[in-house]
Amino acid sequence: MRATPFPFPVFVAMFVAAGALLAADTADLPQSKIDEIIQKFSAKETQFSKARENYTYRQTARIQEMDPGGTTTGRWEMVSDIVFNGEGKRAEHVVNAPVPSLHNIILTPEDMEDLKNVQPFVLTTEDLPKYLIRYLGKEPVDEIDCYVFAVKPKKLEAGHRYFQGEVWVDDQDLQIVKSYGRGVGVIKHSEDNQFPKFETYREQIDGKYWFPTYTIANDTLHFKDNDQRIRQTVRYEDYKQFKAETKITFGDEVDSKPNNGKSAPVPPPAKKQ
């Protein structure tokens, strides 16, 4: 996001998203075991990524500018259905896009790329060589025991966006159930482009796959000439399987209860600002 090219009062507000400070179980695992877990969960993420391509869903994205007291002063919103056209190709159909009323920030192509691919972060086997991954320990998400990993790109290549932050991986299903971080990449030096920290939760769909269902960001963007507080929410709803050309399996047969009877991660209720 870029600041608008006209001056306005500087707002100073600090907001730390839930989960920013990790209180993980730091019990050591041998490096060989850590490497094995990383390889296995990236393979599961690859399978999930292919499976998600066969699902339709509705995405509702909203970005709000806020003053220091938490009052919304500007808004951008888009509701779209991710569907398949008559030729069976994936397409985005915009259902509702009210006229934006943002005054102090401008959405950039990088923001739209983050919304599409970085915030619902998937770490596949193919993408694994692009990242440095460090094991932090174990920590539960709701009632789900998870391995926690710090993730950051090895190299920033022009024209590409990356995730940098932490991911929580279910210690049984070996899939990401939560991620916390921000989008990063090479930005032209002439552009004052800032990106919020976000938190994305997944839930188990059809008893097999962990799909992103909710993203939230409450952050203050520190531009060169001003600070701007923003709030962003993205909901992914009504997942429905369209078709599957290949059978995707996850090894052992899935228990009849999702995640072996454990509850799906439930995002904390939004705090009133």
Q: How many domains does the chain have?
A: 1
Domain presence at residue 254: no
- Extract the tokens encoding 161: 């966006």
| CA end-to-end span of the chain | 21
pLDDT of residue 20: 36
Beta-ladder partners of 58: 81, 237
Q: What is the mean pLDDT of residues 40-66?
A: 96
Q: How confident is the model at residue 266 (pLDDT cuts 50, 70, 90)?
A: low
Is residue 115 assigned to a domain? yes
Q: Which domain holds residue 61?
A: 28-237
The verdict on pTM exceeding 0.85 is: no
- According to the model, what pLDDT value does residue 187 have? 87
Look at residue 2 and tell me if it is in a domain.
no
CA–CA separation, 59 and 211 (whole Å): 12
In a domain, 271, yes or no: no
137/144 Cα distance (integer angstroms): 14
Domain-embedded: residue 16: no
The answer to the question of residue 247 being in a domain is: no
Report DSSP state, residue 170.
Answer: E
Task: Establish if 13 belongs to a structural domain.
Answer: no
Q: DSSP string of 103-138?
A: SSEE--HHHHHIIIIITT----TTTGGGEEEEEEEE
User: Does position 250 have pLDDT exceeding 60, yes or no?
Assistant: no
